[in-house]
Copies of this chain bind each other. A is one copy, B any other.
Amino acid sequence: MQLAKGIEWTTHVCTIIALLPEGKGLSVDALAEFFELPAAYLSKQMQALRRAGIAQSVRGKGGGYRLAQSPDAITLLDIVIAIEGPSPAFRCTEIRQNGPCGLERSECKRPCEIAAAFAAAEQAYRSALESKTLASIMQEAAMNSTPEHMMEIAGWVQRQSS
């Protein structure tokens, strides 16, 4: 089981476009350059964020992608669902209804105990990701960073979007 690389990429990208001045955006090419990522693939991932209402595009000079919501309204779970879709990782195919001792469908109103256990684990995973907003990630990153490095990033964002 592996999460799409796009999740790592777009989460990092979101922490950068969160720094943009009002009304400005960053192009996919600039973002791809900033993280040394393949622009064509990143472009698809950013479109997925746009469709999910996490990012939006700004036209014209200084245009490109920016966040569509405040960083404290976007969670890591939102980003995972935008990139991977909402389906659970464990998909019950009701094999308890198969074979010589299979249950009737009418006897299976309650979820299978195995499916229920996996659903509970996924709920724990999702809750943990839901508790982390972009704002909280950025705050932790800032605390672990140096003022020089943060100024360097802010300067790059400003130059690219002006």
Q: Residues of A at under 8 Å CB distance from B?
A: 1-5, 7-9, 11-12, 15, 33-37, 76, 80, 84, 87, 89-93, 95-96, 98-103, 107, 110, 112-118, 120-122, 124-129, 132, 137, 140-141, 144, 149, 152-153, 156
Contact = CB atoms under 8 A, between A and B. Distances in A.
Contacts of A11: 114
A36 B132 CA distance: 42
A101 B152 contact: yes
Given A34-B99, A137-B113, A92 B144 contact: no
B12 A96 contact: yes
Contact of A129 (B103, B115, B117, B156): B117
Nearest to A114: B11
B101 A153 contact: yes
What is the predominant secondary structure among interface residues of chain A facing chain B?
helix
Contacts of A2: 1, 87, 89, 91
A137 B114 contact: yes
Contacts of A36: 95, 98-99, 102
Contacts of A140: 113, 116
B137 A128 contact: no
A122 B125 CA distance: 6
A107 B103 CA distance: 58
A152 to B, nearest CB: 5
Nearest to A31: B99
